[in-house]
């Protein structure tokens, strides 16, 4: 016998929710709801919608190819209406990551993982680097992580030099940039 308490609608609490049947209207509503909450690329949005479709197909059955057509058509509609724009997303994300002290390597990797085209990544990364150089970004990162000249205790600075260089290397900065920051004076 099931010992779970019943919820408001007569279903046991804690039971998995039944997915809605995928339809063009449902997918459009889901996409708009997602875009209200998150900035996304076309690729990200398609992944989110296809997860919903796959969940629905496992439960209700149906044709995945037809649902894939719905998702593609919806993505085109959202692009036409300006609700998703990979160029704008990449520009905003590259600038934000650069201003928070991320290296060019990390920024490029994050944008590629989000499905942004390589040429757009390079263009937006160049624009962000024009505003904040690689060395300035490394300084921001070192200050946030209290590395090198930003250590609280000046005495331990030399003892931790190798660890600080390694931390900046793991953050995607080149050895020469890391060395300039770690061996430099705080600004």
pLDDT, tens digit only, all 187 positions of the chain: 455 555 556 666 777 788 888 899 999 999 999 999 999 999 999 999 999 999 999 988 888 999 999 999 999 999 999 999 999 999 999 999 999 999 999 999 999 999 999 999 999 999 998 988 999 999 999 999 999 888 888 778 888 889 999 999 999 999 999 999 998 866 6
Say if residue 121 is in the same domain as residue 154.
no
Cα end-to-end span (Å), the chain: 69
Domain boundary among 40, 59, 80: 80
Domain count, the chain: 3
Angle at 108 between CA 105 and CA 111, to 5 degrees: 145
13 inside domain: no
Q: What is the pLDDT of residue 6?
A: 57
Say if residue 74 is in the same domain as residue 99.
no
Q: What is the pLDDT of residue 96?
A: 93
Domain boundary among 45, 80, 115: 80
106 inside domain: yes
111 inside domain: yes
Domain boundary among 97, 114, 131: 131
Buried b (16+ CB within 10 A) or exposed e, 32-47: eeeeeeeebbbbbbbe
Say if residue 127 is in the same domain as residue 160.
no
16 inside domain: no
User: SS3 sequence, 137-148?
Assistant: HHHHHHHHHCCH
Q: What is the pLDDT of residue 155?
A: 77
Say if residue 125 is in the same domain as residue 142.
no
Say if residue 143 is in the same domain as residue 104.
no
Q: What is the pLDDT of residue 11?
A: 63
Q: What is the pLDDT of residue 62?
A: 86
1 inside domain: no
Domain housing 175: 134-183
Say if residue 126 is in the same domain as residue 139.
no
2 inside domain: no
């Amino acid at each position: 016998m099931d010992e779970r308490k019943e919820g408001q609608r007569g279903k046991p609490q804690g039971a998995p929710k039944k997915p809605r049947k995928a339809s063009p209207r449902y997918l459009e509503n889901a996409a708009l709801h997602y875009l209200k909450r998150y900035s996304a690329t076309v690729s990200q949005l398609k992944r989110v919608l296809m997860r919903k479709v796959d969940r629905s197909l496992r439960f209700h059955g149906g044709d995945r190819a037809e649902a894939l057509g719905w998702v593609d058509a919806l993505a085109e509609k959202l692009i036409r209406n300006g609700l998703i724009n990979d160029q704008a997303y990449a520009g905003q994300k590259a600038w934000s990551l650069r201003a928070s002290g991320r290296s060019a390597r990390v920024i490029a990797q994050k944008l590629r993982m989000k499905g942004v085209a390589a040429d757009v990544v390079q263009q937006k990364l160049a624009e962000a680097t024009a505003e904040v150089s690689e060395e300035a970004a490394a300084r921001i990162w070192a200050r946030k992580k209290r590395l090198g000249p930003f250590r609280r205790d000046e005495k331990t600075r030399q003892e931790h030099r190798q660890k600080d260089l390694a931390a900046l290397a793991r953050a995607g900065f080149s050895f020469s940039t890391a060395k300039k920051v770690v061996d430099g004076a705080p600004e």
